[in-house]
Each structure stands twice: as C-alpha cells, then as structure tokens.
Chain A
Amino acid sequence: MRSQLNKIGLKIKPGTLVKPQVTIPALPICNLGAVANMVHKCGGEAFITGTPQDLYRAQRIILAGVGAFDAGMRALEEGGWLKPLNDIAKRGQVPIHGICLGMQLMCRRSEEGVLPGLGWFDADVKRIILPPGSRLKVPHMGWNTLNIHSANALLSSKSDEQRFYFVHSYHVVCDDSVDVVASTTHGVDLTAAISRGHLYGTQFHPEKSHRFGMALIQNLLEL
C-alpha cells in the first residue's frame, strides 16, 4: 500500500496511511452516496462538502449530477460554487471530473435549459434525436459499450470491451472532435467521454458501472 501511494506521488509520514482524496461538492442535484461509495471501494476517501472554499484545497474534484441543466446551474450559483470551480478550472492543476449532468454543465449551454453553462468546453448540449422509424427510446438508459477515439488518463484503450451505465436524454456535441475521448451508439453517435487538460467528463456513470467504472475511478485517484 505504502509503495503504491509513493508511486502516485503522495507524501506520507511513516506509519500513516493516506488515502487519495476526492472532494465532492454536496449539490442538491447529485447522487452523492453512490459516488462516495465507489470512491471508498476504490481505496480513496470521499470528502463531501457544502463549503465552496474547500475546493481550493482539493486534490481532485468530482462534479456529480443528475436532473435538469438549469437546476444544476442554479445549484452551482446559489451554493457559491461558480467562482471556486472556475478558478480551479482556469488554474488547470486539479483534475475535475464531471459525471452525467456534471459533464453537461461544463459545456456552454443546453437545449434543456436557458441558463449558461460553465463553458469550459467548446460544446453544446443537445436533445438526442433518434433516426426516423427507430424502435429505440429516449432516455438512452442502460449499458452500452464505448468507441474509444483517443485514450486519456481515465479511460484506457485496452482491447477488452468496456461497458458503462448511461441514463440521459441530452448529449454533448463538441466543436472540436479532439475533445472527444469516447463515443457510444444509440441510433446515433453520442459523446460518451470528453477531456481537455485537467478537465474530464463522462456521460455515463462510472459509480454504477461495476469493474469498468471502478477502473476509471481508480485512474482518477492516481491523478
């Protein structure tokens, strides 16, 4: 354990065990319990906080969210999270991982709402439109496989099939395909994961995706 921790660059005193910590803003729109459970399962410590200032001391941040876009942006604004999040994103040192709605909030805007997003990615969020005559349904709900475009620190492009749990009716459309790490197919191609610098987004829920999600969260803990 100690040597593993040393490998990921944490300073530890002899005799103490330091777990890599993930700070999770306690937004009223997110499924905190599930994310925290997965972080613990992966050997990390989930620090759930209602204090925006705590983000400045974070080693890494998960922005988890379910629900509607405007409700998410309103929760960020009313809770005082916007400034610290924007500061940290701009500094580009601390990894921030947006999950599901959390990833969509990192974009400029969404067809689901009227409020501006965080705008960290040059991307808009659009309603999923299925091809005419498709028997598929929206939301895109269930397990789907990824097409990895370019592996990043969270998602490896190993040859084994990786499957993840998705639940969403809107999807992220990036201006620049370089930001797209992986896509998935549900009648049409949908962006499944994005990244730029220290910013990561996954449309799927790693916290609910068995060993596939566990591997991803473990990778986040090693950043």
Chain B
Amino acid sequence: MLKHRVIPALLLRNGGLVKTKKFKVPKYVGDPINAIRIFNDKEVDELMVLDITASKERREPNYALIEEFAGECFMPLTYGGGVISVEQAERIFSLGVEKICLQTAALANPKLVTKLAERFGSQSVVVSVDVKRNWLGKPQVYGSAQGKALAESWLLMAQRLVNAGAGEVLLNAVDRDGTLDGPDLELVREAGAALSVPLIAVGGVASLSDIKALVDSGASAVAAGAFFVFHGPHRAVLITYPRYHELEALFANGIT
C-alpha cells in the first residue's frame, strides 16, 4: 500500500539553512549539507530544498550546491528557487534532482509549467501556492516575490497551474509557517477535494497528530520545516524525523 509521504522542507538563504516564521525573520539553523546527511541517515521519504531569495534577487540557482545536495540524497529531492527556464531545469535534473518546484516563474509565465511538464513529465513539476488569510480570514494567494496578496482566487490559481501541467501542488499556509501552531485544515480540505493531483500540505505542523489530521483532510503528503529542525519551547536547533514504525502506526490504514 502506498505510504503517505512526510517531507522535511528546508529553506536556503545565502548558502545557509534558515527557518522563517510567517515567511519572515529567517533564523539560521545550520549547514545544509550536514542537515541533508542527517535526513538521509534518518531515511526520510523525500526532501525539499527551497532557495527563498533566488527569485527575489533574480539570481540563478546555486548549481554547485544543488549538485552537492543531490550527491547526498538517496531519496527523492525537490529543488525550488529562481528557476525561470527549461535550460536551467534541465541542468538541475541532470544533477540528480527529481522535481522542480515553481512559484514566481509559474505565476509570471504558466507556459513554463507546460514546457517543463512536456519535456520532463508532470511528475517532475511541483507548483507552490502560498496562501495567506486576510484580516477577515479570507484566504488569498500571497506572491512572495511581490510580498503582497494577489487578486486571483487561490484555488482557481492552483487548478489553473495543474491544468498547465503541474503534477503536484505544494500548499503553503503562510500564517502558520514556522509557528508550530497547527495546520490550516480547512484550506487542505478545500484543495484536496478540488485538485486531481497529489497535494503536499505545509505550514504549522507541530506533531504527528497534525500530520495525521492533514492526511485525513485530503493531503497526499505533508511537509514541515520547524517541526523537523526545532526542539523545545526555545526553538533550539535539533534535526529530528519520526521513526518509520511511528509513521506506520500513524497511517495504519494507508490510503484507501
């Protein structure tokens, strides 16, 4: 039976690993290669590395670093950040990366999603949709490159990018990012019911029961950052990952 994937999502900034809170106040949490080695030893299901400043700074992906990551990853690896062309994507795939996560470029140019899907298969294209609730609690797409909410409905945007060829959607609850306050299950319920492709939920996960709740709400996979890198009330850096038998017990019934 297919397992639900539990995915550490690592944020990269200036070559170091950081963890944000509501997409702000990046806190340095360590050396990425070291972290990836630890996650590899812990046999994580999959790993995501997102360069959070590449698009903002209009920078090329750091290929040398990505190559080092791939050399340490004996599980599927998703890279995101600063990818704007098929050529860049091809170079990244050839280094040993399985999936590329697009956001800024997908919003500006949905044809890139289609081109990547046609060339490399939709299973290798993830689109990230960041959703932030406004003061009335209404969910809106947050363009992280623009630093503000966008006009289009978040769900329609996700569907549009799936129709363009994306094989997975990374749904990011911005208000829960790094808070360890628990996930936004309502968003996941809506997205899970509306999307035909696997949904990766991220944001707010603080416990195994949060992971289970997300899966029960319709997520195919759950990603988390703070939950895997912080420990205790003072957010001390400690890399952890649930043991396989813990996850097995959590998802005892698998996907049905």
CB <8 Å contact, A139 and B1: no
Shortest beta-carbon distance, A39 to chain B, in Å? 12
A139 is contacted by which of B73, B75, B123 (Cβ under 8 Å)? Answer: B123
- Asked whether B210 is an interface residue with its Cβ less than 8 Å from the other chain, the reply is no
- Asked whether A177 is an interface residue with its Cβ less than 8 Å from the other chain, the reply is no
- Asked whether A34 is an interface residue with its Cβ less than 8 Å from the other chain, the reply is yes
Question: Which chain B residues border A153 with CB–CB below 8 Å?
Answer: none
CB <8 Å contact, A207 and B74: yes
Question: Which chain A residues border B124 with CB–CB below 8 Å?
Answer: 66
Given that A68-B121, A139-B167 are contacting pairs, would A33 and B256 also be in contact in the complex, using a CB cutoff of 8 Å? no
CB <8 Å contact, B96 and A31: yes
- Asked whether A173 is an interface residue with its Cβ less than 8 Å from the other chain, the reply is no
A31 is contacted by which of B98, B168, B221 (Cβ under 8 Å)? Answer: B98
CB <8 Å contact, A137 and B43: no
* Bound complex: CA A8 to CA B241 (Å): 37
* Bound complex: CA A32 to CA B94 (Å): 6
Contact count A vs B, C-beta below 8 Å: 97
* Bound complex: CA A169 to CA B46 (Å): 19
CB <8 Å contact, B123 and A167: yes
Question: Which chain A residues border B97 with CB–CB below 8 Å?
Answer: 33-34
- Asked whether A142 is an interface residue with its Cβ less than 8 Å from the other chain, the reply is yes
A210 is contacted by which of B1, B43, B119, B197 (Cβ under 8 Å)? Answer: B43
CB <8 Å contact, B93 and A137: no
CB <8 Å contact, A142 and B45: yes
* Bound complex: CA A38 to CA B4 (Å): 24
- CB within 8 Å of A: which residues of B? 1-5, 40, 43, 45-46, 67, 70-71, 73-76, 93-98, 119-124, 167-168, 196-198, 220-221, 255-256
In the A-B complex, list the 8 residue pairs whose CB atoms are closest, starting with the nearest. Answer: A33-B96, A34-B96, A143-B3, A33-B95, A67-B121, A167-B123, A210-B43, A208-B76
